[in-house]
C-alpha cells in the first residue's frame, strides 16, 4: 500500500509530540513528610511512617543513621507501603539517637526524588533496677509489654532470715512479680510489667509501694512510675495564621541548669461536647519557628484531660544527646470529630516546669497564653506593655527572663529595668525571629550585666510594626534552685477598685509559710490603697483593722512578711483585699514561701485577682488543671469571693478519663476565703494522678475565683495553679 511521505511525516511528528507530553507528565517523586516516634526502649520495635501515594510512587528509600550527616547511613528499600517497622535495637547499652530520612522513586522514570527532612528517635537503654523513680516512653501503636527489673533493697548488715517484702501498685496497666517474698541481705530483684494496650495516648502515672519487713518493724518507700505513650513526631515548622483558640506555653524544658535539672509537665483539657484533634508544635529556643520545629497530633475526647509528662523529652525526643531541650509549645485546636471548627472557650492547658532533684521536685506554674496576652507595636497601642515585678538579682536569688514571638513575624523589643521607686535604671533593645523563644539570665551581656537588685520591675514593649510578643520571668532561689514564675501583666489595661490577693500566710510551725507582697501603681496619679485582711474559714484569728498606703506614680511598694508588718499577725492565713476610691491600674502580687533550716526558700508566686478574673451565676465554670492527689503530691483547693457579695458554689472533680467525683455544693459568704485541703479526697477520690476541678457559681450576686496549691510531699514545695 502506498503511503505518501507527507502523511508519514505527520504521523511521525504526532508520535514525537506524544512522547514529549508523556515526558512532561513524568514528574519527580514528591518530597515526603516523615513521622518518627520520639523515643522507644531498646527492647521494642517501632514504625517509621511517611505520607505519599503508592500509586504514583510505589517505591521508597528509607535511610537510618547514627549521625545527622547520614555519613553512616543504611538504606532500606520499601515497596508498596508508606511505613517500615524497625527491629528492636536490643544491643543498645546507652541512650542512642537514630536519624531517619526517606525519598520516593518515581514510577514513570525510576528516578529518586529529594530526601525528606530528617527526623530522629532516642532509643533508650534499660533503666537501672536501683532507680528511685521510672519514666518510660513507648511509641503509639505498640502492643509489646515493657518489662523492667527492680531491686527491692535488702537490710544489708542488719538483715535476718525472716526479712520479707510486699509490693503493691495502684494502676491496672502495671503488674509486679513476685509481689511478695523473702528479702535477701543484698536485695531481691523483681520485675514490673507494663501493658501498653491498657494505656491511651499521653502520660499515665502510678506508684509502686515497697514495704520491707523485719521482726523489729517495717519500712515503706514509694517508687513513682510514669509511662508516656507518644504519637509520632514530624520535623515540621509552625505555620502562620493559627486558628482561634490557639494557646502558647511560653517556656518548656528538659535541660540542666545551675545545680539543677528542669523538665516540664503539660496538661491539655477539652471541655467541649466533641472529640478535638490538636496539633502540638515544639519550637527549640533561639530558632526561627517558621523554618525549624517538631509537630505531633493528638485527639482529646470530650471532657478529657491529657497529661504529657516531661513533654520535651518524652513527646518530642529533645533535651538530650546534643539536642536543645528548651523552647516554646504551641497548641492548636484543628477540628472536631465531625470536622467542624472547635468551639471557643473549650480548650484549656497549663504547664508545670520543675527542678527534679533526688529529694523531690521544686516547681513553677507556667500558663498557656492566648494571643490576646501578647503585645503588638506600642506606637499603635500605647497600653501594649508587659510588666514583670518581684524580680531579683542578688546573692540569694537569680532571675531568668524569657521572650516569645507568637505570630510568625520578626519583632523588635525594648526592655526596661526599674527600681521600686519607679526610676528607670537601664534600657536595651532586643530582636526576635518569627516564633522565636529566648531565655536569658537577667545579668546576660545582652540584657543587664552586673546588675544587683533585691526588688526590681521589668517592662517590655514591641517597637516594630511586625510581631506579637510575650515575656515572663523565672526567679530562682540560689540555694534550693526552686523557681517561681512571674506571669506577664499588661498593667495599663487594668482598671479596678477592688483586688483580692489570696493565699497570704504567716505560719511558724515546721511547715512554715511567709508572704512577701508588692503593689505597683501603673497609673498617672498618686493613689491611696486601703488594705484589709480576712482569715480563711475556720481560722479563729480576729479580723484586724484596715490599713492604708500611698503609692507614687510608677512606684512598686514591697511589703515583706506582710501579715506581721501591717497587722502584727502570726499563726494565720487567708486573703488580703485592696480597694481604691476609684478604678486604678494597680498590679498586686505576692510570693508565699517556706524557709528551710539554712534559710533557703521554696514557694509560689500569687497574682492579685479582680472581678473580671472571676465568674458569677449563669457563667461558665472555671477550670483548675494540673492537680494530683497521691502518695507523692497533694492538692489543696482555695475558693474565694472577690466582690463582697455572697454566692452558692459547685465544685466538680474530674479524673483524666473525664470520670466525675461526687459534686460538692456550699455557700460562700461575701469576701470569704475557703480552703479544701486534699480536695480530691473530700470529693471521694483518694488517688488521682491527672486531675481537674471545675468551679461554678450556681446562685447569688457574688463573683468567685479559685486556685490550687499542689504540694510535693517530699520537698513540701507548693506550686500555684490558678483557675482559668
Given a cut of 70, whether residue 24 has pLDDT beyond it is no
- Positive or negative: CA dihedral 595, 603, 473, 576: negative
Confidence label for 106 from pLDDT (cuts 50, 70 and 90): very high
Q: State the Cα–Cα distance between residues 460 and 553, nearest whole angstrom.
A: 18
Residue 25 has pLDDT above 90, yes or no: no
* pLDDT at residue 13 is higher than 80: no
State which H helix or E strand residue 284 sits in: strand 276-284
Stretch among 13-22, 346-355, 535-544 having the lowest mean pLDDT = 13-22
Phi, then psi, of 21 in degrees rounded to 5: -65, -45
pLDDT for 3 beyond 90: no
Cα 696 to Cα 684: distance, rounded to the nearest angstrom:
19
pLDDT computed for residue 658 by the predictor: 73
Neighbouring-strand partners of residue 482:
none
Dig out the grid coordinates for 261 from the structure: 535539672
Residue 580: pLDDT above 70?
yes
Tens of pLDDT, residues 302-331: 999 999 999 999 999 999 998 999 999 999
Cα–Cα distance measured from residue 220 to residue 204, given in angstroms and rounded to the nearest whole number: 23
DSSP letters spanning 399-430: EEEEEEE-SSS-EEEEEEEE-TTS-EEEEEEE
Cα–Cα distance, 353 to 361 (Å, whole number): 10
Judge whether residue 2 has pLDDT over 80.
no
Mean pLDDT of 368-394: 96
ω into 607 cis (within 30 of 0): no
CA 104 – CA 111 distance, rounded (Å): 8
Distance (Å, whole) CA 226 – CA 309: 8
Give the residue carrying C-alpha cell 529566648. 438
Is residue 286 a contact partner of residue 361, using CB atoms and an 8 Å limit?
no
- Residue 5 confidence (pLDDT): 32
Cα(453)–Cα(507) distance, rounded to whole angstroms? Answer: 27
Least confident of 253-267, 379-393, 451-465, 611-625: 253-267
**Counting beta carbons within 10 angstroms of the beta carbon of residue 506, is it exposed (0 to 12), middle (13 to 18) or buried (19 or more)?**
buried
The number of CA neighbours under 13 Å toward the Cβ of 607 is 23
For 298-314, b/e burial (b = at least 16 CB within 10 A) is: bbbbebbbbbbbbbbbb
pTM: 0.93
The position carrying cell 522514570 is 109
Grouping H, G, I as helix, E, B as strand and the rest as coil, residue 255 is strand
Residue 1 has pLDDT above 50, yes or no: no
Look at residue 685 in the predicted model and tell me its pLDDT.
Answer: 87
Cβ-contact 670, 619 below 8 angstroms: no
Half-sphere exposure of 115 (CA within 13 A, CB side): 17
- For residues 263 and 202, is the Cβ–Cβ distance under 8 A? no
Question: Which residues pair with residue 707 across a beta bridge?
Answer: 638, 722
Strand order in the sheet with 688-699: 622-629, 688-699, 647-654, 664-668
Of 577, 602, 622, 621, give the one whose Cα is nearest residue 514.
602
DSSP state letter for 158: G
Can you tell me the mean pLDDT for 187-200?
Answer: 98
Q: How many CB atoms lie within 10 A of CB 464?
A: 17
Cell numbers that stand for 186 in this block? 543484698
Q: Looking at the DSSP assignment, which residues form a beta bridge with residue 415?
A: 428, 460
The per-residue pLDDT for 510 is: 63
Separation between Cα atoms, residue 345 and residue 620, nearest integer Å = 9
Cell 471545675 identifies what position?
A: 694
Residues 6+ apart with CB under 8 A from 94: 125
> Rounded to whole angstroms, how far apart are CA atoms 511 and 357?
20
pLDDT of the residue at 23: 46
pLDDT band at 21 (very low <50, low <70, confident <90, very high): very low
Residues with Cβ < 8 Å from 479, sequence gap 6 or more?
Answer: 396, 598, 599, 600, 601
Q: What angle do CA 523, 432, 322 make, to 5 degrees?
A: 130
Residue 58: Cβ within 10 Å count: 16
Cα first-last separation, the chain: 90
Q: Look up residue 600 and give its DSSP letter.
A: -
The model's pLDDT over 615-643, given as tens digits with 9 standing for 90+, comes to: 999 999 999 999 999 999 999 999 999 99
Kindly report, residue by residue over 516-559, the tens digit of the pLDDT.
999 999 999 999 999 999 999 999 999 999 999 999 999 999 99
- What is the pLDDT at residue 708? 97
Q: Output b/e per residue, 422-452; b: 16+ Cβ within 10 A.
A: beeeeeeebebbbbbbbbbbbeeeebbeeee
| DSSP 3-state of 71 | coil
pLDDT digits (tens, 9 = 90+) for 658-703: 777 789 999 999 999 999 999 999 998 889 999 999 999 999 999 9
pLDDT of amino acid 512: 87
Strands of 337-468, DSSP E: 347-357, 360-367, 385-393, 397-405, 411-418, 424-432, 437-441, 453-462
pLDDT at 259: 79
Return the pLDDT at 574.
Answer: 97
Residue with the bigger pLDDT between 66 and 2: it is: 66
Q: How far apart are CA 465 and CA 333, in angstroms?
A: 28
pLDDT mean across residues, the chain: 94
Cell of residue 359, nine digits = 529529694
The length of the chain, given as a count of residues: 724
Residue 371 buriedness (CB in 10 A; 0-12 / 13-18 / 19+): middle
pLDDT value at position 508? 83
- What would the grid cell of residue 691 be? 486531675
* 3 state DSSP class of 550: strand
Model confidence band, residue 18 (pLDDT cutoffs 50, 70, 90): very low
Burial of 259 (0-12, 13-18, 19+ CB in 10 A): exposed
The Cα 47–Cα 425 span in angstroms is: 56
CA 676/CA 691 separation, integer angstroms = 15
pLDDT of 716 over the 50 cut: yes
Distance CA(136)–CA(142), nearest Å, equals 13
In whole angstroms, give the CA distance from residue 296 to residue 503.
Answer: 38
CA 166, CA 174: separation in Å to the nearest integer?
16
Residue 218, Cβ neighbours under 10 Å: how many? Answer: 11
Cβ 374 vs Cβ 477: under 8 Å: no
Query: What is the number of H-type helices and E-type strands within the chain?
Result: 4, 48
Handedness of CA 606, 611, 617, 621 (dihedral sign): negative
Q: Name the grid cell of 365.
A: 506554674
Amino acid at each position: 500500500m502506498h503511503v505518501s511521505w507527507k502523511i508519514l511525516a505527520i504521523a511521525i511528528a504526532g508520535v514525537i509530540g506524544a512522547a514529549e507530553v508523556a515526558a512532561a507528565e513524568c514528574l519527580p517523586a514528591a518530597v515526603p513528610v516523615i513521622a518518627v516516634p520520639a523515643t522507644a526502649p531498646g527492647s521494642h520495635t517501632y514504625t517509621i511512617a511517611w505520607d505519599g501515594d503508592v500509586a504514583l510512587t510505589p517505591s521508597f528509600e528509607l535511610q537510618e543513621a547514627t549521625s545527622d550527616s547520614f555519613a553512616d547511613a543504611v538504606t532500606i528499600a520499601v515497596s508498596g507501603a508508606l511505613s517500615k517497622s524497625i527491629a528492636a535495637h536490643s544491643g543498645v547499652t546507652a541512650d542512642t539517637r537514630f536519624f531517619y530520612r526517606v525519598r520516593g522513586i518515581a514510577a514513570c522514570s525510576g528516578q529518586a526524588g529529594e530526601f525528606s527532612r530528617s527526623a530522629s528517635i532516642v532509643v533508650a537503654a534499660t533503666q537501672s533496677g536501683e532507680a528511685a523513680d521510672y519514666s518510660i516512653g513507648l511509641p503509639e501503636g505498640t502492643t509489646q509489654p515493657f518489662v523492667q527489673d527492680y531491686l527491692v533493697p535488702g537490710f544489708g548488715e542488719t538483715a535476718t532470715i525472716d526479712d520479707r517484702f510486699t509490693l503493691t501498685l495502684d494502676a491496672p496497666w502495671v503488674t509486679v512479680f513476685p509481689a511478695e517474698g523473702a528479702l535477701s541481705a543484698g536485695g531481691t530483684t523483681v520485675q514490673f510489667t507494663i501493658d501498653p494496650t491498657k494505656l491511651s495516648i499521653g502520660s499515665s502515672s502510678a506508684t509502686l509501694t515497697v514495704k520491707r519487713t523485719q521482726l523489729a518493724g517495717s519500712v515503706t518507700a514509694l517508687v513513682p512510675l510514669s509511662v508516656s505513650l507518644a504519637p509520632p513526631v514530624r520535623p515540621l515548622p509552625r505555620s502562620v495564621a493559627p486558628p482561634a483558640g490557639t494557646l502558647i506555653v511560653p517556656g518548656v524544658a528538659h535541660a540542666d541548669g545551675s545545680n539543677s535539672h528542669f523538665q516540664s509537665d503539660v496538661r491539655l483539657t477539652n471541655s467541649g461536647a466533641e472529640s478535638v484533634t490538636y496539633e502540638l508544635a515544639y519550637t527549640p529556643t533561639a530558632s526561627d519557628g517558621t523554618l525549624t520545629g517538631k509537630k505531633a497530633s493528638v485527639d482529646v475526647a470530650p471532657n478529657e484531660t491529657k497529661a504529657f509528662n516531661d513533654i520535651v523529652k518524652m513527646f518530642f525526643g529533645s533535651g538530650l544527646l546534643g539536642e536543645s531541650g528548651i523552647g516554646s509549645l504551641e497548641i492548636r485546636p484543628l477540628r472536631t470529630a465531625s470536622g467542624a471548627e472547635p468551639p471557643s472557650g473549650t480548650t484549656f492547658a497549663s504547664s508545670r516546669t520543675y527542678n527534679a532533684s533526688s529529694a523531690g521536685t521544686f516547681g513553677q506554674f507556667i500558663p498557656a497564653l492566648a494571643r490576646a496576652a501578647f503585645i503588638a507595636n506600642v506606637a499603635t497601642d500605647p497600653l501594649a506593655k508587659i510588666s514583670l515585678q518581684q524580680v531579683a538579682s542578688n546573692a540569694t536569688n537569680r532571675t531568668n527572663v524569657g521572650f516569645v514571638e507568637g505570630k510568625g513575624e520578626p519583632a523588635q523589643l525594648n526592655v526596661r529595668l526599674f527600681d521600686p521607686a519607679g526610676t528607670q535604671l537601664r534600657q536595651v533593645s532586643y530582636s526576635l525571629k518569627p516564633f522565636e523563644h529566648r531565655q536569658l539570665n537577667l545579668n546576660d551581656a545582652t540584657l543587664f550585666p552586673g546588675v544587683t537588685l533585691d526588688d526590681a520591675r521589668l517592662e517590655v514593649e514591641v517597637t516594630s510594626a511586625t510581631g506579637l510578643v510575650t515575656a515572663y520571668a523565672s526567679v530562682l532561689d540560689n540555694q534550693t534552685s526552686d523557681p517561681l514564675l512571674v506571669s506577664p501583666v499588661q498593667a495599663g489595661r487594668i482598671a479596678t477598685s477592688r483586688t483580692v490577693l489570696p493565699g497570704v500566710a504567716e505560719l511558724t510551725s515546721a511547715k512554715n509559710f511567709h508572704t512577701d507582697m508588692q503593689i505597683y501603681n501603673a497609673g498617672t496619679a498618686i493613689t491611696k490603697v486601703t488594705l484589709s485582711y480576712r482569715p480563711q474559714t475556720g481560722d479563729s484569728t480576729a479580723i484586724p483593722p484596715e490599713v492604708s498606703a500611698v503609692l507614687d506614680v510608677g512606684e512598686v511598694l514591697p511589703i515583706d512578711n506582710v501579715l506581721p508588718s501591717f497587722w502584727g499577725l502570726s499563726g494565720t492565713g487567708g486573703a488580703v483585699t485592696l480597694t481604691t476610691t476609684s478604678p486604678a491600674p494597680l498590679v498586686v502580687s505576692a510570693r508565699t514561701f517556706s524557709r528551710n533550716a539554712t534559710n533557703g526558700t521554696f514557694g509560689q508566686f500569687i497574682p492579685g485577682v479582680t472581678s473580671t478574673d472571676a465568674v458569677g451565676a449563669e457563667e461558665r465554670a472555671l477550670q483548675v488543671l494540673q492537680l494530683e492527689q497521691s502518695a507523692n503530691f497533694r492538692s489543696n483547693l482555695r475558693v474565694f469571693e472577690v466582690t463582697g457579695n455572697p454566692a452558692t458554689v459547685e465544685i466538680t472533680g474530674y479524673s483524666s478519663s473525664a470520670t466525675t467525683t461526687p459534686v460538692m455544693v456550699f455557700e460562700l459568704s461575701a469576701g470569704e476565703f475557703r480552703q479544701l485541703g486534699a480536695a480530691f479526697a473530700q470529693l471521694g477520690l483518694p488517688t488521682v494522678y491527672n486531675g481537674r476541678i471545675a468551679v461554678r457559681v450556681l446562685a447569688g450576686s457574688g463573683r468567685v475565683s479559685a486556685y490550687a496549691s499542689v504540694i510535693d510531699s517530699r520537698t513540701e514545695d507548693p506550686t500555684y495553679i490558678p483557675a482559668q
